Structure 1
Amino acid sequence: MAVYTQVSAEALGAFLAKFDHGELVSAKGIAEGVENSNYLVDTTTGRFILTLYEKRVSADDLPFFMAMLDHLAVDGNPVPRALPDRSGALIHELCGRPACLIEFLTGVSVSHPSEAQAYAAGAAMGAMHGSLAGFDGMRPNTLGPDGWRALLAKCGRDLDAIEPGLFDTVSAAADAVVAAWPSDLPRSVIHADLFPDNVLMLGDRVTGLIDFYFACTDIRAYDLAILHSAWAFDAQGEGYDAGVGKALVAGYVDRHPLSPAERAALPVLAQGACLRFLATRAWDWLNTPADALVTRKDPLAYWRRFEAYRKDDLFA
């Protein structure tokens, strides 16, 4: 989450007038994340999230996301649904951007997950994958191997401003990962971005899975590899917690089966996950507007993860 588009109190009040959720009391921009503009909104009847979808999220994809979230919620997964206005509309326009008013879920995201919390996150992903097996929507992954290679090429030699020689080093690594990328593993809709800040928890219990705007159809085990790369390392990508890593996988397989072929592919899938997030973080690092209320994230933290996965089988 982040704030790129500023919304005045007057504009927000007029927006809320279309709903039956009370009058505006307060609104605060949320700086975490990097994709959309988000506000924590309090009204006279409760608390909500206002999301304005920025350029990386296409308005044409929003019906897919809304249908997926409804499907997951009906199946008992703790996800936030978009709220309809009095006419039944879910998707609106505010300050020139597509916008939705979204349910607020209780809980906090953890910065240093315990093994018990990691187990719960893995189990929540497993349950989510089980539910999505019955969802027939499809959305291409624009940030699969072709996508992140294209983004790295778009960054070009500017990557060397982040670290000297980074462009050549990462380009060679990407070629090797793409050559080893599996083509015959089970596919489904996946979250594709289930970082700790997209999981809400109370103690060791998951109370919310949020921010599905990278959700797409791809290799199902890739989602677990992304989860592993995001949860099992410290923020700098320097320290790996083997207990957390094992707990993530254990929680997942307790809720959803993982075939031998999927297990064998996890190391290369995790390397691909690292390159994908290195690419998007590098692009944002180089191109984030100076006046955006957003916390930029270090691309090199994912290069350090990549080197850890390349050196050792962290799923053994």
Structure 2
Amino acid sequence: MAVYTDVQDEELEGFLAGYDLGRLMACKGIAEGVENSNFLLRTSRGSFILTLYEKRVNAADLPFFIGLMEHLAARGLTCPQPVKNRAGAALGTLSGRPAAIVTFLDGMWLRRPGVPHCGALGEALGKLHLAGADFPMRRKNALSVDGWRPLYQATASRADGVQQGLAEMVADELELLEKRWPHDLPEGVIHADLFPDNVFFLGDRLSGLIDFYFACTDTLAYDVAVCLNAWCFEPDQSFNVTKGRALLAGYQRVRKLDQAERAALPLLSRGAALRFLLTRLLDWLETPPGALVRRKDPLEYRRKLRFHQKVASARDYGLEDA
């Protein structure tokens, strides 16, 4: 989440007039995240999240995201639900951007998740994958291996200004991953961005998942690799194998990884690290002045990538033998 587009009071009031949400009491921009403009709305009927879709979000993909949240909730997963306007539509236009309102989830995200939280996250990810198995819509992952070279090309000439040698390192890693990337592993709906700030807890209980705007149809084990990167490294980017073991055990209590997925996990984890290195690098270089957004350090993922490059097998992540 972030804020790139300012919304004028008159525009917001006109937009909300189409909804049955009561009187607007407050609207506050949310600085977390990097993709869309998000606002916390407080009305006389409760709290809601308003999202204006920007940047990498294709308006044609929005029915997929909206439908997926409804589908997952119907199967017991706690996630935001789209709020439909009086005409029955979940999508509208505000300040020249596609816009939607979703329900507000109670809870908070954890800056320093512990081992039990990683286990709960693993279980929730497994449940998401099972719940999405019969979702009828498909959406290609635009930020999988086929999408990394354009990101590299957009940043290569400036990458060494962030850190000397970064462009060459990315080029070498990209070439390797393009040659070795697996294309025959089990697929389904994945979240693709399940970082701690997209997972809410009430105490130690996981209370919900948010921000499905990278969700797509792709390799299920790649989603596990994203979570290993996002949840199991310490602030110095050392891998915490106890957290990894808890995350993987939680996932496998719900959905077992097959032998091919287990063998591919180190390569998938390298790919996930490169994906976030590249998108963070592009955002670092191109975030517009004045945007209410906290830029994220791309070099965090260079350090994580170095760890994955040395991994011999999924056991190094804490995955127990089958």
Give the TM-score normalised by structure 2: 0.96
Aligned to 1:193: 193
Root mean square deviation, CA, Å: 1.0
Paired AA for residue 164 in structure 1: Q
Are 2:278 and 1:286 aligned?
no
CA distance in 2, matches of 1:291, 1:221: 38
Q: Secondary structure at the match of 1:161?
A: coil
What residue ranges of structure 1 are gaps of 5+ in the alignment? none
Aligned to 1:161: 161
Cα shift at 1:82: 1.0
List aligned pairs for 1:124-203, cutoff 5 A: 124-203=124-203
Aligned to 2:303: 304
CA distance in 1, matches of 2:57, 2:284: 18
Are 2:214 and 1:214 aligned?
yes
CA distance in 2, matches of 1:235, 1:289: 27
1:17–1:23: 8 Å Cα contact kept in structure 2? no
Q: Secondary structure at the match of 2:317?
A: coil
CA distance in 2, matches of 1:199, 1:109: 6
Q: Secondary structure at the match of 1:289?
A: coil
Cα shift at 1:312: 2.5
CA distance in 2, matches of 1:235, 1:295: 17
CA distance in 1, matches of 2:110, 2:271: 24
1:122–1:248: 8 Å Cα contact kept in structure 2? yes
Aligned to 2:245: 246
Aligned to 1:20: 20
Aligned to 2:5: 5
Cα shift at 1:142: 0.7
Cα shift at 1:231: 0.4
CA distance in 2, matches of 1:233, 1:23: 44
CA distance in 2, matches of 1:54, 1:63: 15
Cα shift at 1:286: 0.3
Deviations along 1:223-267, one digit per CA (max 9) or x if unpaired, are 00001100001345x222111111111110111121111111111
What residue ranges of structure 2 are gaps of 5+ in the alignment? none
Give the TM-score normalised by structure 1: 0.97
Cα shift at 1:30: 0.3
CA distance in 2, matches of 1:202, 1:2: 23
1:78–1:209: 8 Å Cα contact kept in structure 2? yes
Between the two proteins, the alignment pairs up a number of residues equal to: 315
CA distance in 2, matches of 1:205, 1:243: 19
CA distance in 2, matches of 1:136, 1:87: 25
Paired AA for residue 182 in structure 1: P
Deviations along 1:10-45, one digit per CA (max 9) or x if unpaired, are 221221111111111001100000000000110111
1:152–1:171: 8 Å Cα contact kept in structure 2? yes
CA distance in 2, matches of 1:159, 1:234: 25
CA distance in 1, matches of 2:92, 2:83: 11
Aligned to 2:317: 315
Aligned to 1:73: 73
Aligned to 2:42: 42
Cα shift at 1:148: 1.3
CA distance in 1, matches of 2:221, 2:204: 24
Q: Secondary structure at the match of 1:133?
A: helix
Are 2:229 and 1:226 aligned?
no
